[in-house]
Each structure stands twice: as C-alpha cells, then as structure tokens.
Amino acid sequence: MAVLLRRANYADWEFPLHAVFGLPVTGSFSLPGRVFASEPSTKWSYVDPSSLLHTGPLHTHPTLQKLQRTPLTDHDAILWQSALAEVTSHTMDGPIHPDTFCSNFHISRRFAVIQPSKVRPCDDFTASGLNDAQCFDGRVTLPTVDLISLMYHELAKRWPGSFNLRIWIADHQAAYRQ
C-alpha cells in the first residue's frame, strides 16, 4: 500500500507503515476545548488490590462502621433481597455476621437508584476504592487522525518515558478503498 501511495505522489505515503508498525507522534499539540481537560482536577492512580483487602474482624471494617451509623431507608428490603439473590447465584458471599473473623475480604456499600419502573441496587465501588484497583485493556475507536494525535499526546504526557502505544487500522483495505 505504501508503495502504491508513493508512486501516486500521495503526500502521506508513510501512513500505512505507521499504522501497521506504530505511529510516532511528537511535538506540541494544541487541545481543542472539551476534548481533553487541560489539567484534570483529580489524577487517577492505580491501587494494588491486595492493599484493599481487610484482614481482621468484620466489625472493625470502616465501611461497616459507617453503614451501622446510617439510618434505615424504605429501599433497604429491596437491597437485602438483591444481595441474597446474588449470594444464591454465587456472585457474592454472605450474609456474614459482623462479629465473625474474616481474612482478606473487601466490602462495599450498596445503595438504591430509583428508576421510573424499579429500584436498582448499585454497589459503591468508587467510595470503597475497588474501582482504583481495576486495570482496563481494550480497543479505543478514534475517527480522525487529529483525535489519535491528541489521545497519544495526552497519554504520553501522563506516563512520560514508559508509554508505548501501537496504533493500527482494523480494516486496512476499507481505509484505502479507491
């Protein structure tokens, strides 16, 4: 493809090579408004999952202590039934009595989200820190070269020296269809 583009005097004939072998993007790029925040107010940092685990009696867990001080709501019965359903389906352990000794466990607060047709139970993995212990790996679709450049610049700025991004076109033939 690169040879055909070069013979046709296409200005960016090296792009297919960069798309296959990685796209080196250098320099300073101006950021259009609302694509990326120029200075994020909070910076995400990865937390090792083992540091979240609580070893000791359940009644000493800070989340449980906070929950015990919280008054009951009208939706607690729905939350309890949904928790028992998850225990039955083996996606959650419990119920565990607060006086028991638990080793290497993590608990999160569950709250109700009121929707027009139902009350949906949600686990607060943000407040409990569980979201910070997750690592995500997946595809990102960026429709223009400008957005690819902006994304690369922002990621490289946040992890200088250790950032290695490879960019490729999923459907190379369709990208250069005549």
Count of C-beta atoms within a 10 Å radius of residue 167: 19
Instruction: For residue 17, give the H/E element and its range.
Output: helix 15-21
Residues 110 and 57 in one domain: yes
Where in the sequence is the domain holding 168, given as residue range(s)? Answer: 2-37+141-175
How far is the CA of 87 from the CAs of 62, 73, 136, in angstroms?
23, 22, 26
69-88 mean pLDDT: 91
Q: Are residues 124 and 150 in the same domain?
A: no
The answer, yes or no, to whether residue 93 has pLDDT greater than 70, is yes
**Secondary structure of the chain: what % helix, strand, coil (to 5)?**
35, 10, 55
What is the CB neighbour count within 10 angstroms for residue 8? 9
What is the pLDDT at residue 89?
92
> Do 60 and 107 belong together in one domain?
yes
The pTM for the full model equals 0.48
Rounded CA gap, 177 and 160, in Å? Answer: 36
pLDDT level of residue 139 (50, 70, 90 thresholds): low
Of the two residues 10 and 119, the one the predictor is more confident about is 119
Q: In the chain, pLDDT over 70 holds for what percent of residues?
A: 76
Is 122 in the same domain as 148?
no
Is the domain of 124 the same as that of 56? yes
Query: Do 30 and 60 fall within a single domain?
Result: no
- Tally of domains within the chain: 2
Lookup: tokens for 95:
């119920």
**Whole-angstrom Cα distance, residue 178 to residue 161?**
39
Share of the chain above pLDDT 90, in %: 13
My answer on whether 8 and 60 are in the same domain is: no
Q: Are residues 124 and 53 in the same domain?
A: yes
- Reported as a pLDDT band with limits 50, 70 and 90, residue 178 is very low
Rounded Cα distance between 66 and 175, Å, is: 55
Residue 119 lies in a domain: yes
Q: How does residue 88 score in pLDDT terms, banded at 50, 70 and 90? A: very high
How confident is residue 106, by pLDDT bands cut at 50, 70 and 90? confident
Which is higher by pLDDT, 41 or 133?
133
6 and 31 in a single domain? The answer is: yes
Residue 43 belongs to some domain of the structure: no
* DSSP secondary structure letters along the chain: -HHHHHHTT-TTTTHHHHHHH-----S-----TTTS-SS-SS------HHHH-EEEEGGG-HHHHHHHHSPP-TTHHHHHHHHHHHHHTTSS-----TTSEEEEE----EEEEE-SS-EEEEE-TTTTT-GGG---------SSHHHHHHHHHHHHHHSTTS-------TTHHHHT--
Tokens standing for 175? 């990208």
Q: Is residue 135 part of a domain?
A: no
- At residue 121, the pLDDT reads 92
pLDDT band at 26 (very low <50, low <70, confident <90, very high): low
What average pLDDT does the segment 93-115 reach? 84
> Is residue 80 domain-shared with residue 111, that is, in the same domain?
yes
Any domain includes 103? yes
* Average pLDDT score over residue span 40-69: 79
**Are 62 and 123 within one domain?**
yes
Same structural domain, 18 and 59: no
